[in-house]
A and B are shown apart, each in its own frame.
Chain A
Amino acid sequence: MIALLRRDLTLAVRAGGGFGLGLAFFLVVVILVPFAVGPDTEILARIAPGVLWLGALLACLLSLDRIFALDWEDGSMDLLATAPLPLEGVVAVKALSHWLTTGLPLTLAAPVLGVLLNLPTPGFAWLVLSLALGTPALSIIGAFGAALTVGLKRGGLLLSLLVLPLYVPTLIFGAEVARRGSEGLELGSPLAFLAGISLGVAALMPYAAAAALRVNLR
């Protein structure tokens, strides 16, 4: 499994695209928001946590179809399925490497973009924490969506349609933590829910995704 993780990370670094594209997308979305809602710093400060969360979510969505598609196209998936690695483990590793190449950089970049949107000072730590807790769930749920659509020629759009409703709870709790954090409110319960979703999804989703992959491999 470590070998697979190392290979996927090497591939992501060598192919470029991986980090760069998601981050650039995030940056562009956040920069476009003030053009759409006007430069009023007070309004921007109010919507900043939500906009940053939504931007991170969309940036995450962008690279989901690559989780399995590349290995699918060159036949590696067949070989991985007959390797001694359980398919559930393959899914977990793939989701982890997706998070390391998109979720983690997005989390680290978010405070910088927070400055652009006038995010109130107390909000920064909570924004980073909520993204750090929430983006793994986005990657794992996304891996399930990618497993469902991997056999399809034009699965990208369908993947978004399938995955976005599944993202609702994560988005609600994540953005709630960031919002309450920036307004200095109590945020224990949404934080606990967010962590609960991430952990629950990490524990159970690989089974569903592996089942979908097995069906697609037939």
Chain B
Amino acid sequence: MSQTVTAPAAVMAASGLACARGGIAVLDRIDLELAAGEALVLRGPNGVGKTTLLRTLAGLQPALAGRLAVDPEGVVYAGHLDGVKAMLTVTENLTFWARCFGTEPRETVARAVQAFDLDGLTDRAAGTLSAGQKRRLGLARLLVTGRAIWLLDEPTVSLDTASVALFAAVMRRHLAAGGAAILATHLDLGIPARSLDLSAFKARALIEHDDFNEAFL
């Protein structure tokens, strides 16, 4: 993606971004900017394209149009699935991701375990965890990657109230340390965040009745 001139503090900036799901444009003309220490909450009804936008920002799928300026090595994505291996223990799961992202496992894993209150579970196989515990493990992965921009898709699914508070605390610390995050969530986490309603960016279908172009629309 090409670089755009943005405010110095911006760690991620998109302009005129359009993204597609299944070959059909769902979102169009999105402008967003994210500064260090800032969180952005994506809102909108189901199916509006929150996941699609997050995947595009994470570089998992190409944008249809527009510019995206972000350091791809600074981004970490957490989707609906946790990427947790049932056969590995909690520590092994986290250690693997730490090695993968090139951080020092001993130090980061201990911090992540503590932050998400997984202390008593470290030697349990992840397959025996409850859904909420697994989710916490999935979120703990964010900490061991050592990356600044978190792209989170429904991070609070299957978390209980206490765990949500735990997550909000982690979030607050992350932002205070100069990190940034874009979340798709329906819950109010009680952290200072701007919100962006994606319904406003719904792609308008090009109406061309008797003339069809390359994209068949």
Contacts and interface: CB of A to CB of B under 8 A. Distances in A.
Would A and B touch once assembled, by the CB under 8 A criterion?
yes
B96 A75 contact: no
Secondary structure of the B contact surface, majority rule: loop
Contact of B79 (A6, A10, A78): A78
Given A3-B96, A7-B96, A81 B85 contact: no
B96 A11 contact: no
A80 interface: yes
Listed residue (A2, A4, A7, A82) with the most chain B CB atoms within 10 angstroms of its CB:
A82
B61 A217 contact: yes
Listed residue (A11, A71, A74, A79) with the most chain B CB atoms within 10 angstroms of its CB:
A79
Contacts of B201: none
Contacts of B31: none
A31 interface: no
Interface residues of A, number: 24
Contacts of B85: 7, 11, 74, 76
Contacts of A73: 81
B82 to A, nearest CB: 6
B180 interface: no
B87 interface: yes
Contacts of A43: none
A82 B76 contact: yes
A116 interface: no
A14 interface: yes
Interface in B62-90: 62, 72-73, 75-88
Contact of B77 (A2, A4, A82, A84): A82
A10 B102 CA distance: 20
Contacts of B88: 7, 10-11, 14
B152 interface: no
Interface of A: 2-4, 6-7, 10-11, 14-15, 71, 73-76, 78-85, 217-218
Given A79-B78, A82-B59, 19 more contacts: A4-B96, A7-B85, A10-B87, A10-B92, A11-B88, A15-B87, A73-B81, A74-B83, A74-B85, A75-B79, A75-B81, A76-B83, A78-B79, A78-B81, A78-B83, A82-B72, A83-B100, A84-B102, A218-B61
